[in-house]
Structure 1
C-alpha cells in the first residue's frame, strides 16, 4: 500500500508498505483523505515538534477519514463499508487526568503520527490503517468524506471555544487565521458569537477567515488601525506567536477570558502578565480535544462554509508538493492528501 514516511528533516518519501492486519479490538480502515496539519509540517521541515524529535522513520498524519474494511478478534463497530472519521488519540484510561474526565491531557496517551514516545506512534497517512475500533465515528448521512476530513481540526476549535466558557452574544477575537484559527471562527459563530474579529499578517489567510464567517479582519502588523476593536469579551490565540498572545491580553476586557490555543515556541518567553493580575483576566490553555470529536461531524454536516476551507486535494503520489503547498499560507488553508479509497 502507498504511505507517506518521514525519515528526517526535509526527507519525506512515498513508500510501499505492507497492508496491516487488525488485531484484537482493532479495525482496518481504508483511508480516503488525510489533512496535512501544522505538526506534520514541523516533522517534515524541522525533524520534530517542540521537544519531540524523530528518532526513526515515521508515518505522519492524524486527520483521517475513510471506510471500514474489517475487524480483528473481539472488535465490533460500524458495518464494513461505513464512512467514518478516526479519533486519533488512545488515552491510557488510568491516570488522574483520565479519571477526572480530561483525557485530552492524559499523561500517557498515544496519538497517531507522534514522535512523543519511542517507538513512535505511526500515523494515518497510508492507504490502510489499523486503529482501535472504539475510535471510529460514523459520519452523518449526507456528510461527504472531503468535508469530514476537517473533523479532527474542528474538534480542536470546538474545544477552544468550550474552554472560553461560552461565547454566545459576545465579541470574540481570534489571532491567527491558519486552518485552526479559521475553524475557531466557524465554531464560535456556530456557538452564537455576536461578532468575530480575526487578525493575521497574510492577506490570503484573512480571506479564508472571512469565508469561515469572520465579521471583521485586520492586519496584525498594523495594531490600532482601521477595524481594530477597542475591546473584546473573549480572545482565542491561534497563531502560536507571542505577539498574538500580547494582543489578546491587551484587547480583552477586564475580567475577560483569553484561551491560548496556538502552540508557542518551546522555552520561556515574556508576556504581559501584569495585565492578567490588574484586569483579572482568565488565561486558559486549550490542548487537542476529547468528546468534541463526537460533535464535530454534526457541525460539519450543518455548514457548507467548511468546504471553502479545503483549498486543495492532492494525490498521495505528490505528497511532498502537498506539504509544500500546506506550508505556504499565501496559497492555502487546509490541504488534503487523497489516498484513492
Structure 2
C-alpha cells in the first residue's frame, strides 16, 4: 500500500473515485509472476483495468459530465492520430497506453487506486439500472463483443467456446446474442460449465476430464435441454505433456469429436449430416491443445477466433486449416464496444419474457467481493483459484471501495 498525491484533472480529464475493480487473469499473472505472457513489468505497477466509479472532479474543456455521474472506464488510451486509429481500429494503435499493462513504458497505472484522472472521452456514463459491478464487467464483455464482431456468425450458426472463465462465458453469451442456434462451452472445471448452462450463457456444456490419465475414463456431458443430467462418454485421456506430438493431435481430435457429439446427438437440426464441425470456434484459453482442438472441431470453411492469450509460440496442424479453408482470426482487446455493451445491459429490463435471448446478468458472475484496497492480497489469492475454501465456485472476484 502506498499513499500518493493526485493532481487536479487536466484538460479533457475527469477525476474518478473508483468504486469497483474486477480482477482479470492478466492481473493475476502480473501479481504472481510480475509478467503477463511476453510483457514483463520493469517498474512498480498498480493493477486493475475492469473498473467503474463516480465523477468527483471535472477538468477544463470537459462537457457532458456532472459531479456524481456514474461511469465505466475504458482504460486503453490510443493516440487518436495514426492511420489505424483513424480507421477505427484503435485497439491496435502502436502508441496505446493501457492501464495495468507493462506494454508501454512508463507503465500506465491500473485502477486499484482510490482516485484516478482519466480522459473524459474514455469514460462511459451509466444508466441507473446498471450496477457498479456490472459496469466493471463491461470490459470483459467488450472482449466478447469484439470477438463475435470479428467472427460475424450468420444467424443459425453453430459455435463452440473453449474456456468457461469470465471471457469465455461472455463470448458464449454474445454468440447466442448474435443468433447462433447452438453454443457449446467446454472447460476442465465442472462448476463453471454447470454455471454456464444454468444461467443460460451456452446451450450445451462439456467437461474435459481432470485429472487426465492413461486408462479409460469418463467425461461428463451436460446439455441445456436435459436439465443438467449427465451421460458417460468413454475415451482415452492422457496428459499432453507426456505425449508425442502426433498423440497430442489424436487427443485433440478425440476431444473435438466428443464435443461435437453433444449437439449431433441432441435435437439440434443438421442440414448436412456429412458436414462435421461448428461454424465458428472461439478459443478462450490460449492453450496449445485447445488450439489443436479448435481446428479439428471447426467445419470446412469455418472460422477459429483466437481470444485467449496464453502460449505465445505454438505448434499447430496447419494442414487442417489449409485443406478445410478454416480462417484463423486473432483479436486483441476491443474497439468501439462499450456503447454496445451498455445498450445490451439496458435491454435486459425492457424485453418481455419470451421475447428472445436476453444476455445473462453480469452481477451474477461476481462470486466474491472484497471491501477496500487493504484486502487486495486476499482477493488476488482467491482469484487464482476455481473454488474457495468452502467449495464454492470462484468466477469473478472484485475489489470495491
**Do they superpose with TM above 0.5?**
yes
- Distance between the aligned counterparts of 1:43 and 1:167, measured in 2? 38
Query: Which of 204, 219, 244 pairs up with 2:207?
Result: 219
Aligned partners of 1:33, 1:233: CA distance in 2, in Å? 37
The residue correspondences of 1:127-142 to structure 2 (distance < 5 A) are 127-142=114-129
Relative contact order, CA 8 A, sep 6+: which one is greater? 1
Q: Is the CA contact (8 Å cut-off) linking 2:153 and 2:279 kept in structure 1?
A: no
**1:144-293 alignment runs, 5 A limit:** 144-210=131-197, 211-221=199-209, 223=255, 224-225=257-258, 228-229=262-263, 231-266=277-312, 268-293=313-338
Task: Give the TM-score normalised by the residue count of structure 2.
Answer: 0.78
Contact between 1:185 and 1:212, CA under 8 Å: does it hold in 2? no
Compute the displacement of 1:81 (Å): 0.6
Contact 2:184 2:205 in 1 (8 A): yes
Partner of 1:5: none
- Is contact 1:167–1:188 with CA below 8 Å preserved after alignment? no
Q: Does 1:338 align with 2:326?
A: no
CA distance in 1, matches of 2:79, 2:21: 25
Mapped pair 1:314 → 2:375: no
Contact 2:37 2:310 in 1 (8 A): no
**Hey, what's the Cα distance between the residues in 2 that align with 1:157 and 1:41?**
20
Residue aligned with 2:362, SS: helix
1:126 aligns with 2:113: yes
Return the index of the structure with the highest Cα Rg: 2
The answer as to whether partners of 2:49 and 2:75 remain within 8 angstroms in 1 is: yes
CA distance in 2, matches of 1:319, 1:213: 29
1:34-49 correspondence runs (5 A): 34-49=21-36
Shift of 1:213: 2.0
For these two proteins, the number of residue pairs brought into alignment is 325
Give the superposition deviation at 1:228: 4.1
Aligned twin of 2:50? 63
Name stretches of at least 5 consecutive residues in structure 2 with no aligned partner.
210-218, 220-254, 264-275, 349-358, 388-392
Match of 1:295 in 2: 340
Out of 384, 394, 399, the position equivalent to 1:327 is 384
2:91 aligns with: 104
Distance 1:118 1:319 in 2: 24
CA distance in 2, matches of 1:243, 1:220: 12
Task: Verify: 1:113 aligned to 2:169, yes or no.
Answer: no
In the alignment, the residues of structure 2 paired with residue 94 and residue 305 of structure 1 have an alpha-carbon distance, to the nearest angstrom, of: 37
The structural deviation recorded for 1:212 is: 4.6
Q: CA RMSD in A?
A: 1.7
C-alpha separation between the residues in 2 aligned to 1:31 and 1:77? 19
Corresponding position of 1:305: 361
Is the contact between residue 212 and residue 305 of structure 1 (CA under 8 Å) also seen in structure 2?
no
Q: Which 4+ residue blocks in structure 1 deviate beyond 3 angstroms?
A: 224-230
